[in-house]
């Protein structure tokens, strides 16, 4: 199942997002500032990691940088550390 998730998500999404971010040249999906698009993709990647135990961004430097950058924002980091652990 993990292999299928990796293949599917990489082919459908990550390759495209990485390309968009490289072409944009700002380290963001849209424009120069952090947007909901950036937050959403990091949230989705984090959920996949937590639910399926699959870490997908090791081969995507722009996405990894965005992921790491977003999780360094104090308010987001605090939420990630204190949020309820719910079953999906």
Task: Give residue 30's domain range.
Answer: 2-82
The answer as to whether 87 is a domain residue is no
The answer as to whether 13 is a domain residue is yes
Question: Long-range contacts for 49-53 (Cβ within 8 Å, ≥24 apart)?
Answer: 51/88, 52/1, 52/2, 52/5, 53/2
| pLDDT tens digit sequence for 15-32 | 999 999 999 999 999 999
Tokens standing for residue 75: 């308010």
| pLDDT tens digit sequence for 25-69 | 999 999 999 999 999 999 888 888 887 777 788 889 999 999 999
Residue 46, pLDDT score? 86
Q: Which residues of 12-50 are buried (b: 16+ CB within 10 A; e: fewer)?
A: eebeebbeebeeeeeebbeeeebeeebeebbeebeebee
Q: What is the CATH number of the domain that holds 18?
A: 1.20.1050.10
pTM of the model as a whole: 0.81
Residue 88, pLDDT score? 57
Residue 73, pLDDT score? 93
The answer as to whether 60 is a domain residue is yes
Domain count, the chain: 1
The answer as to whether 39 is a domain residue is yes
The answer as to whether 77 is a domain residue is yes
The answer as to whether 88 is a domain residue is no
């Amino acid at each position: 199942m993990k292999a299928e998730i990796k293949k599917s998500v990489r082919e459908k999404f990550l390759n495209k997002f990485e390309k968009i971010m490289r072409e944009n040249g700002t380290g963001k999906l849209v424009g120069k500032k952090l947007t909901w698009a950036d937050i959403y993709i990091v949230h989705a990647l984090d959920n996949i990691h937590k639910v399926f135990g699959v870490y997908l961004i090791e081969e995507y430097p722009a996405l990894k940088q965005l992921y790491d950058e977003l999780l360094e924002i104090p308010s987001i980091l605090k939420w990630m550390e204190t949020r309820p652990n719910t079953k999906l």
